[in-house]
Amino acid sequence: MTTGNSDTIAAIATARGNAGIGIIRLSGPAVCDIQRQLFAGKLEPRKATLVKIYDQQQRLIDRVLLIFFPAPNSFTGEDVLEVQGHGGMVLQDMLLEHILSLGCRQARAGEFSERAFLNGKIDLSQAEAIADLIEGQTRSAVRGAMRSLQGDFSKEIYALLEGLIHLRMLAEACLDFPDEEIDELPVKEVEQRLLSVQEKIKPLLRFARNGSLLRDGFHLVLVGRPNAGKSSLLNVLTKNDTAIVSEQPGTTRDIIRDRIDLDGIVIDISDTAGLRQASDTIESEGIRRTKNELESADRVLLIIDEADYSEASRNALMSYLEHDIPVTIIRNKIDLQNREPEIKYRERWVEILLSIKSGAGLDLLYRHLKEITSSDTLSEGVYTARRRHVEALQKADVSLQDAGRHISASVQLELFAEDCRRAQNSLNEITGEFGSEDLLGKIFSSFCIGK
């Protein structure tokens, strides 16, 4: 698949700012023609050539290095030209303006990667990895993105797809050619193959969850009654005076966001307005925003003044939260109650008794945060992944469980084949391929039915 008749695009590929070097990249069918207008000679592929670039009035714009990558051996799969000039912002703009006047247009965001995908140079998850590599906030995130870009993540997905395609092949051959002399469906073999696909999907799902954590970070939202110590906790965690702390209840009115890096995991922390019957419209708007913020939370830290702690006060606060959101209850200000720091693992939440002011028990909180944001698989062998990858893998997993039911209890071939097809479609969403024709091709080439 190629983009064929696409037009030619150009853009400044390096960051905006004054730098030693700035690179403009061009891709598309008119690249050779534009190159000849910039430099009359012929460029040797992938070799740098020093060239002076003049504008229409024959004024020298810059001395640049031109590098030509002929199709299909380029990033986009099309003819690509790199123009490496000096990095000044104004200079780069002048150079780009001149290049655009020679017969190409400004590229849209991500258009080079999009072309690489459309031309089959990379799959969708690799295209996403390029963005992640550039935007990576921590070293682990960058390393994860590089692994994905290398195709490690895609390879695992393709291996799963192989397994699934084989399963469908077995099932659909029995369905489509019931009169042919094909043996009965080998149920035991199918069950085993299904199991092996299911076993592969589990660790991948774990990797993808961790990968999505690496990339998107972990969103922690601090909620509680006014004066419970939410802003104090934000300041302690970020080691910053980000939020105003005061003994006056209702100090925080708006969401205050900050970010920490906890062993390579980005944690986005939101401090919120205290939850209570609002006394004015600003406060009630603050509370509305708190509820909004909770929608994207990965976990809530519910902060309660230990002096006010009771089952009733806890339940009243819990009623603000969605049922399935993970919660850690921070019973703060134990310094005033003469209590020792402690962590308790309850069925529906975790409880930590501590004092933000004295620091007693903060070690328990840090350990807990590390526990919930990381796992043993996180440091090595992880890819960057997105929530959509996690969701796609989850969907595939559910379809495979259905498939298991439709083969083990009593053989319901049609349903089984449909479950496998759905699982395959979910995985295809990750790589961006939709391969029903591929599947047919594969079935007929590996099955000698024709006889």
Ligand X SMILES: Nc1nc2c(ncn2[C@@H]2O[C@H](COP(=O)(O)OP(=O)(O)OP(=O)(O)O)[C@@H](O)[C@H]2O)c(=O)[nH]1
Q: Where does this chain bind ligand X (CB under 6 A)? A: 224, 226-232, 245-247, 249-252, 274, 332-333, 335-336, 355-357
User: Of the two residues 231 and 431, which places its CB atom closer to Mg ion in the complex?
Assistant: 231
174 within 8 A of 407, measured Cβ to Cβ: no
**H-type alpha helices, 177-309:** 187-216, 230-238, 281-294
Question: Distance (Å, rounded) from C-alpha 346 to C-alpha 73?
Answer: 58
Pair 209, 393: CB distance under 8 Å: no
In whole angstroms, how far apart are CA 120 and each of 74, 77, 106, 117, 364? 12, 8, 23, 5, 49
CB of 335 to Mg ion, least distance (A): 19
**What are the contacts of 310-319 at 24+ separation with CB within 8 A?**
313/225, 317/223, 317/224, 317/225, 317/275
246 makes contact, choosing from Mg ion, ligand X, none, with CB < 5 to 8 Å by partner type, with ligand X
**Which residues between 371 and 410 bind Mg ion (CB under 5 A)?**
none
Residue 333 site contact among Mg ion, ligand X, none (CB < 5 to 8 Å, cut-off depends on kind): ligand X
Exactly one of 84, 113, 119, 252 binds Mg ion (CB under 5 A); that residue is 252
Residue 92: name its binding partner from ligand X, Mg ion, none (Cβ under 5 to 8 Å by kind): none
For the bound state, the minimum distance from the C-beta of residue 245 to Mg ion, rounded and expressed in Å, comes to 7
Distance between CA 150 and CA 144 in Å, rounded?
A: 10
Is the CB of 13 or the CB of 343 nearer to ligand X?
343
Nearest to Mg ion of 252, 399 (CB atom):
252
Question: Quick one: 246 or 436, whose CB is closer to Mg ion?
Answer: 246
| Chosen from Mg ion, ligand X, none, partner binding at 144 (C-beta under 5 to 8 Å by type) | none
**224, interface contact from Mg ion, ligand X, none, CB < 5-8 Å by kind:** ligand X
Q: Which residue is nearest to ligand X (CB)?
A: 274
The distance of closest approach from Cβ of residue 371 to ligand X in the complex, given in angstroms and rounded to an integer, is 22
- Burial of 140 from C-beta contacts in 10 A (0-12 / 13-18 / 19+): buried
Check binding of 231 to Mg ion (CB under 5 A). yes
Least distance (Å) between residue 357 CB and ligand X: 3
Minimum CB separation of residue 330 from ligand X in Å reads 10
User: Which one, 230 or 386, has the nearer CB to Mg ion?
Assistant: 230
Helix-, strand-, coil-residue percentages of the chain, each rounded to 5 = 45, 20, 35
Nearer to Mg ion, 88 or 250 (CB): 250
Locus of tokens 């369905």: 175
Q: Tell me how far apart the terminal alpha carbons of the chain are, to the nearest angstrom.
A: 32
Of 42, 44, 110, 53, the C-alpha closest to 84 is: 53
Of the candidates 99, 83, 98, which has an alpha carbon nearest to the alpha carbon of residue 48? 83
Q: How far is the CB of 329 from Mg ion (least distance, A)?
A: 18
How many C-beta atoms surround the C-beta of residue 282 within 10 A? 12
Within 13 A of 293's CA, how many CA atoms are on the CB side?
Answer: 25
- 252 or 384: whose CB is closer to Mg ion? 252
Least distance in angstroms from the C-beta of 348 to ligand X: 23
Binding segment (CB under 5 A) for Mg ion, from list 32-40, 117-125, 246-254, 312-320: 246-254
- Smaller CB separation from ligand X, 252 or 431: 252
Binding residues for Mg ion, how many (CB under 5 A)? Answer: 4
For residue 337, the minimal CB distance to ligand X (Å) is 9
CB nearer to ligand X: give 160 or 356.
Answer: 356
CB of 324 to ligand X, least distance (A): 25
**Whether the Cβ atoms of residue 126 and residue 113 lie closer than 8 Å to each other:** no
The residue (of 198 and 270) whose beta carbon lies closer to Mg ion is: 270
Q: What is the dihedral of CA 159, 188, 186, 169, to 10 degrees?
A: -20
Q: What does 217 interact with, of Mg ion, ligand X, none (CB < 5 to 8 A by kind)?
A: none
User: Roughly what angle, to the nearest 10 degrees, separates helices 413-431 and 124-135?
Assistant: 40
* Nearest distance in Å: CB 281, ligand X: 17
Pick out residues in 211-230 that bind Mg ion (CB under 5 A).
230
Scored b (16 or more CB within 10 A) or e, 229-241 reads bbbbbbbebbeee
Q: Could you say whether residue 428 binds Mg ion (CB under 5 A)?
A: no
Residues of this chain that bind Mg ion (CB under 5 A): 230-231, 251-252
